[in-house]
Amino acid sequence: MSLPCLILAAGFGTRMGALTADHPKPLIEIAGRSLLDHALDVARDAGAGPIAANAHYKADQIAAHLVRQADVTLLHETPDILDSGGAVKNAAHNLPEGPIATLNADNVWTGANPISQLQTAFDAALMGALLLLVPRDHAVGREGGGDFAMDSTGRLTFDKTDGGFVYTGAQILDPTPCLSDTRDVFSLRDIWEDLSSQGRLFGKIHTGTWADVGHPDGITAAEHMLRGADV
């Protein structure tokens, strides 16, 4: 069954410094392809659809990049950026009802397809969201500690220590809590906190490698990771 997918590509990319002065972070190239195209490859390889991508910072460049990609709907957030939760709320009005996949456009994955892994494990009756994770010591390019602790059932609580698991920017979630939120601008962290308190926030360990390309050093680290995966 095809799963709708939202690619989160609206951020300012401030950690990239001068690299995002003239173009948005999703158009930075990793191993000859833009970060946005890496995310689109994941969505398409998983058979996801329809696919949407949000944009705000230098949205005209994102639009030009997608102009010949008829399978992608651009959601231009204007005049204000909506943050991750607001982006899901906005996208859910433009996607079929039911769970959706989201991918952050500043991450790169190898190994089993992230969306396919999540789709196999997602249980809508049990889970409000299922997040793809890697152990902190396997998180290429990561700055700082982990994000979550996971119990024996797969349920998640927040854990910023080095022993925590790191969110890889891929998830399946029920957008209903986002749609019910009265705010236009809010973070998915707020939604995850509520789901965690209800025992409905779950994690799955990624079968493969993952790199955070949110900062300049992450570019070299991600390319090295990809070269290793091709050996």
pLDDT of residue 176: 98
Question: What are the sequence ranges of the domains in the chain?
Answer: 5-230
Condensed to tens digits (0 to 9), the pLDDT of residues 132-159 reads 999 999 999 998 899 999 999 999 999 9
Say what the pTM is.
0.96
CA 156 to chain centre: 17
Tokens for 8, please give them.
């989160």
CA 195 to chain centre: 18
Tell me if 104 sits within 8 A of 169, measured CB to CB: yes
CATH 3.40.50.150 assigned to domain 5-230? The reply is no
**Ranges of the chain with pLDDT below 70:** 1, 230-231
Condensed to tens digits (0 to 9), the pLDDT of residues 186-213 reads 999 999 999 999 999 999 999 999 999 9
The Cα 46–Cα 61 span in angstroms is 26
Tell me if 159 sits within 8 A of 146, measured CB to CB: yes
Please tell me whether residue 15 adopts helix, strand or coil conformation: helix
Helices (H), the chain: 35-45, 59-66, 83-92, 114-121, 176-180, 188-197, 216-230
Tell me if 133 sits within 8 A of 231, measured CB to CB: no
| Non-local CB neighbours of 196 within 8 Å, separated by 6+ positions | 155, 156, 157, 158
| Angstrom distances, CA of residue 61 to CA of 43, 75, 173, 208 | 21, 13, 28, 31
